[in-house]
């Protein structure tokens, strides 16, 4: 019985090491945050600069998973739900084939909410998942994931992991 427990313990440790080895930490002098990418399939494709205030990542290909992170300055007292509603009303509703999904509370290093939605791009069923995370009463971050509906749904654990790891420097 002791040998069986020892074998299981070693397998567990090997699994944890394999998971940790796949993770990579993203930070940049041009951003004020740090996040962990869960696998080496995720890579940065653009950085913030004077013209673009957002950073973008892809999971192999844009259709497999695309992430755009944007810092949002808001009026004091604005809630993450208010910001989500504004985005829905001013931007997302106008996407072709837009279907609003549900809104859920989200807890990580920064707390907030998520919204999901569906739309169509070049005749393909797409999905979006946005994590609105509140840093302070005047600063929120929007982590906007998009991808093919079936592919983005399959990596929900990765999108949740990225959002949970997100923190301000």
Work out the pLDDT band at 15, boundaries 50, 70, 90.
very low
The pLDDT confidence band at residue 53, using thresholds 50, 70 and 90, is low
Domain segments of the chain as ranges = 23-168
CA-to-CA distance for 138 and 152, rounded, in angstroms?
A: 30
Q: How far apart are CA 102 and CA 114, in angstroms?
A: 8
Q: Report yes or no: 57 and 39 within 8 Å, Cβ to Cβ.
A: no
**For the stretch 138-164, what's the b/e string if a residue is b when 16 or more beta carbons lie within 10 angstroms of its beta carbon?**
eebbbbbbbbbeebbeebeebbbbbbb
Helix (H) or strand (E) holding 21: helix 2-22
Please give the CATH architecture assigned to the domain spanning 23-168. Answer: 3-Layer(aba) Sandwich (3.40)
Mean pLDDT (whole number) for 14-30: 66
Q: Residue 54 — pLDDT band, cuts 50, 70, 90? A: confident
Q: Output the pTM of the full model.
A: 0.83
Q: Using one digit for the tens of pLDDT, what is the confidence trace for 77-114?
A: 999 999 999 999 999 999 999 999 999 999 999 999 99
Question: What pLDDT is recorded for position 2?
Answer: 59
Strands 61-73 and 167-168 turn out to be unpaired
């Amino acid at each position: 019985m002791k040998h069986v427990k020892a074998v299981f313990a070693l397998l567990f440790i090997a699994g944890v090491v394999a998971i940790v080895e796949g993770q990579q930490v993203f930070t940049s002098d041009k951003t004020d945050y740090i996040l962990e990418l869960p696998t080496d399939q995720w890579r940065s494709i653009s950085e913030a600069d004077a013209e673009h205030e957002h950073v973008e990542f892809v999971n192999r290909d844009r259709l497999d998973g695309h992430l755009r992170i944007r810092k949002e300055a808001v009026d004091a007292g604005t809630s993450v739900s208010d910001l989500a509603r504004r985005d829905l009303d001013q931007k997302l509703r106008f996407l072709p084939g837009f279907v609003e999904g549900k809104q859920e509370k989200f807890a990580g290093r920064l707390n907030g909410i998520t919204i999901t939605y569906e739309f169509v791009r070049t005749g393909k069923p797409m999905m979006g998942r946005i994590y609105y995370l509140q840093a302070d009463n005047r600063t929120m971050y929007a982590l906007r994931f998009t991808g093919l509906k079936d592919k983005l749904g399959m990596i929900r654990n990765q999108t949740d992991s990225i959002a949970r790891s997100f923190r301000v420097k």
